[in-house]
Structures are given as structure tokens and as C-alpha cells.
Amino acid sequence: MLIAPPLVYALLLLALPLCAVVLFSFWTQDFMEVDTAFTLQNYREIWDSPVYLLLLQRSVFVSGMVTLVTVTLAYPVAYYISFNVAPAKKSMWIFLITIPFWTSYLIRVFLWKVILGYNGVVNSGLVGLGIIDEPLSFLLYNVNAVIITLAHAFAPFAILPIFVALEKIDRSLLEASRDLGEGRIRTFLRVTLPLSMPGLVAAVLIVFIPTIGDYVTPELMGGAGGKLIANMIQTQFLQLNNAPLGAALALVAMVCVTAIALVFIVLNRRWLRRQV
Amino acid sequence: MSGGRILGIYAVLYLIFLYAPIVLLPIFAFNDATIIAFPLSGFSTRWFEALWGNAALGDAVGNSLFIAAMTAILSTLLGICAARAGAMADFPGKSGILGFVMLPLVLPEIIIAVSLLIVLRQVLDMQLSNWTVIAAHTLLCTPFSIAILNGAFQNLDPSIEEGAMDLGESRWGAFCSVVLPLVMPGIVSSLLIAFTISLDEFIIAFFLTGSNPTMPVYIWGLLRFPQQLPVVMALGTILVALSIVLLAIAEFYRRRGLARAGLKDSGGFL
């Protein structure tokens, strides 16, 4: 069976390790040793600690905002490429959009620091134009800076699935809608948007879930008030040497975003059914 | 102004937003000042010269190239298996298994990093090395390889292969002499994409590198020292140029593959 090698690989390096994470989250760290007695202590600690809950809340908020911003900004671009660009030039546009995504992630995040920083591009531009006298200090080292940077990083992930879904729409359906007297906007809302929904949902999932696991952007852009749950997970594993608590935090974060994503899918299905 | 025009202007603005950080990179890499800020002071190539004699950086680049090459080969091999299986007749649990193999695409990278770290360090008590990073990167890149190769395999007309077998080729012979050349552009494209992803990956590599850092892990260390930043800019400029060349080649092969299969280009790697 040909499927065996990739399946076995994914089972050994994904499914099995995930089971180990679940197991570890019910154990505790006892100095250098891991105490393997089953306990809910890690989860209790997360629940009782205002720090972890705050980080979790902030992370879910940031992921949600990033998803909203990314998908909203991306949809018109995908729409433009699918409906307004000549077929021969479409793949060139897609190629142009994907290029920045493949180039050194760390350096891209760092460059946002250069753009938004105290002596950065935005500030020197505004000062140079005489719009402001003093550089703005609220651009960098806060949650907004994290959201902007992540929205930039995930842009192609949102554009591609929406574009693919838009490409699949039978153009004669749009003509039919127009022929039956619907206007441009109503045709979009009642035909194009519902038909592109699978792409939109894919875009939401592919942005919302992975953003929870990024610790680079909050570390570089977030300052003290912009740290997220992924920073805490990283600290637990690599600095505090508390793998069980880190495992529990990672699972809680993962379950939170997955649950929210599922609710979104269910609500979306309901909305689609009402459209028919 | 028509709706299409407004959308077009918006799309161009969006591209400017996407490219803004990358455009800044060469500007500061050739800028003759230690501080990364405006106004610029003058043209200089000294940051590129500083890269040349840096032995630690050389080691990190060597590690990263080795990891990226191995990852590209392994994930493409796994991708060929999965894409070929996906293009063949249905078997029980097909969509579930294929979905599971694609899972790393939507999983937060930190989850992959953390779970592998637990297994390697706590359960197996292994030393972290380049191979632990390769194992994780292969897991991460396989879905991308599958996505690219799916395009190549699903467009294949099964009667070509059957024809070769009717003419006396064995199953393996038909695969090597007929199928492989037809999907070769997809394979090259998959190798290049996996190579690019692995070369750039930081979140997982930071957890799983041993005593020898990969290039992104080394860059991460440099970001803390302000006087090193122009060197990082110079390095970044080279990396971006390299990625663009690799991607352009990958795109060229992907299109050639589509042309070979006699298909219309629907765009995109994913």
C-alpha cells in the first residue's frame, strides 16, 4: 500500500507525540524528574492563575482580530484576481502574492519593527511631512503591532483558498442572477458570497488556528503588554523546564481555538442553509 | 470610476503593503550606518563583507542547507506516495487518512514543536541534532509536497500507464519510464518548495536544534544585538534574492508540468 509510508510517518511523528503531550499534561514536574502520578494540578494551576487566563484571552483575541483583518483585506484581492484579471495573468498575480510569504519570516517580522519603530519609516515619514512634531510611540510594542505583523504574514494563506473557491464559481450563475433583475450588490451577497464560502471558511481556519502558536511576532513586536500564550509555552519548555505545565498550556490553547473554529463552522453552515 | 478600477487600485495597494518590508531590506543592507532608521547615510557594502568572514554564520548556513536538502528529499518521497495513493482507486478510510496526513498544515507549529520535544527528550531521551529538525521539518513540509504533487498525479491519464503495461512493461517499469517523467516537473517544484520552507523555518527549529543552530536560529540570536542588525539586513537580502530565484524555478516547473498534462493553469502552489 502506497499510503503506508506517509501514514506511518504522520502516526509516529504526529499522533504519537500528541498523545504524549496529553499524557504529560496530567503529570507534574518535580525538580529534575517528572512525577508520573495522574493529577489535574496543571489544569487547576492554569484555571486559578490570572496570568495564564489573561494570556489565553489575549491570544484568542489577537488570533480572532488577525483572522478578521486578514480575511477582510484578502477577499477583495482574491475577487479582483478571479473576476477582473485576464486569465493569462492570473498565475502571475498569485505568484507575486506568494513570494513575500516564502522569504525569511524572522527578518520580515523584524522589518515591521523598522517600519513602526520610534525612528521608523512611518514616524520619520510623518515628521518629515510636518504632520506630527514628535515621533509616535504607540505604534510599536503593543497588541496592535502584533496584529498588523501577523496579518501581513498570513495574507497569502487567506487569499489562496478564497481565490480557488471564486475560480470554481460557474459564471453563468452570476449572469442568471443579473438577468433575473438582481443588482450587482445583491448578486454578490446572494450568489457569489455564499458560493465562495468554502474558500472563506478554509481561509479562516488556516489563519485562525496557526496564529495561536506564533511566539516570534509577540516577542519582537508586543513589548511587555503584548506577550501571548505561545511565549508562555515556550518559556515553560525552554527556560523553566516545566514540560508538563507547558504541555497543559499548549493543549488548552489548542482546544480553545479548535472549539471556536468549530462554532464558527456550525454558524456558517446555518447561515448558508438560510440563504437557499 | 467603475468597480473594477477601484478593486484594481486596491489590489495594487495591497501588493505594496505585502512588499513594503522586503523593499526596505536592501535599502538598509547597503546603508552605511549601524542604526536601522531613516535618514539614510550613504552607500556601503561593508555589511556584506562582514558576512563573508563569519565562521559561526557559515556553520549555521551549512546546517540549514543540509537540513533543507534532506527535508526536501524525504517530504517529496512521502508526498509522491500519498499523491499516487490519492490518485488511485478508493480504499477504505481514504479521505480520512489523506486528511490526517495533511493535518500539520492547520496545526499551530508550536504544538508540533512541543510534542516532538517531549517525545525526543523526555520519552526517548535522545540528543537533539540536525536529524531531529529534519524529522520535524519533513512532517511540516509533507502536506505542501502532497498538495503540489496531487496536481501532477491527478492530471495523469491512467490509460498511458496501462498502455505501457500492455506493451510489456512491469508495474515498476511503467512507473519509471512513463509516469515519472510526466510528474517530474511536480517533483522538482515540490523539492524546491520544501527546501525553501525548511530553510526559513524558525518556530520548530528553535525547539529542536541541538548544539548547532540553524540559520534562522542564528539570526534570532543576532536580533538581540543592535550592532549586528545591519549584518542581518545584508544576510536577509541574500536570502530573499535566493528564495525568489528558487521559487521562480519552482513556478516554472509547475507550469511546465501543467502544460505537459495539457491543462489550463489555475494558479498557485496550494
Bridging pattern class, strands A28-30 and A33-35: antiparallel
Residue A233, min C-alpha distance to chain B (Å): 8
Question: What average pLDDT does range A59-75 have in this prediction?
Answer: 94
Residue B192: the pLDDT is: 87
Tell me: the pLDDT tens digits for A238-275? 888 888 999 999 999 999 999 999 999 999 999 888 87
Contact A61/B at CB under 8 A: no
Coil, helix or strand for A29? strand
Give, in order, the Cα–Cα distances in Å from A264 to each of A156, A269, B201.
21, 9, 30
> Could you tell me the domains of chain B?
54-260 (1.10.3720.10)
Using a CB–CB cutoff of 8 Å, tell me whether B202 touches chain A. Answer: yes
Q: A214 vs B202: CB contact, 8 Å cut-off?
A: no
The residue type at B89: A
Is A247's Cβ below 8 Å from some Cβ in B?
Answer: yes
Contact B247 A163 (CB under 8 A): no
Closest CA to A58 of A201, A223, A235, A205: A223
**From B195, which residue of chain A is nearest by alpha-carbon distance?**
A102
Identify whether the C-beta of residue B64 lies closer than 8 Å to the C-beta of residue B196.
no
- Residue at A11 is within a domain: no
Interface contact flag, A3 B98, Cβ < 8 Å = yes
Q: What is the radius of gyration, based on Cα positions, of chain B?
A: 22
Measured between beta carbons, the chain B residues lying within 8 angstroms of A164 are: 266, 268, 270
Residues of A in contact with B88 (CB under 8 A): 2
Answer for the pair B213, B63: CB distance below 8 angstroms, yes or no.
yes
- pLDDT, tens only, A185-242: 888 888 889 899 989 999 999 899 989 989 999 999 988 888 899 999 999 988 888 8
How far does Cα A51 stand from its chain's mean position? 22
H/E element holding B254?
Answer: helix B229-260
Gap between the Cα atoms of B143 and B75, Å rounded: 8
| A2 inside domain | no
Omega cis (within 30) before B39:
yes
Q: Which of A229, A235, A228 is nearest to A250 (CA)?
A: A229
Residue A4 within any structural domain of the chain:
no
Q: Is residue A10 part of a domain?
A: no
What is the CATH classification number for the domain harbouring A100? Answer: 1.10.3720.10
Element (H, E) at A28: strand A28-30
Q: Which of B108, B268, B269 sits opposite A212 (nearest CB)?
A: B108
Looking at this predicted complex, what is its ipTM? 0.85
Tally of domains within chain A = 1
User: Which three three-digit cell numbers place residue A260?
Assistant: 471556536
Give the pLDDT band (50/70/90) at residue B270.
Answer: very low
The identity of residue B28, as a single letter, is F
B101-132 b/e (C-beta count within 10 Å ≥ 16 → b): bbebbbbbbbbbbbbbbbbbbeeeeeebbbeb
Cell digits of residue B245 = 530565484
**A259 near B CB under 8 A:** no
Say if A43 falls within a structural domain: yes
pLDDT in tens, B130-187: 999 999 999 999 999 998 888 888 877 778 888 888 888 888 888 888 888 888 888 9
Size of chain B in residues: 270
Minimal Cβ distance to B220: which of A103, A106, A108: A106
Q: Is residue A3 part of a domain?
A: no
**Percentage of chain A surpassing pLDDT 90?**
38
- The rounded distance, in Å, linking the Cα atoms of B44 and B49 is 10
Query: Residue A44 sits in which domain range?
Result: 16-275
* Whether residue B267 has pLDDT greater than 60: no
Alpha-carbon distances, residue B23 vs A156, A264, B16, B28 (angstroms): 18, 37, 9, 9
Give the phi and the psi of residue B31 in degrees, each rounded to 5.
Answer: -85, 135
Residue A1 lies in a domain: no
B 52-91 → A contacts, CB under 8 A: 77-79, 81-82, 84-86, 88, 91
Q: Is A145 part of any domain?
A: yes
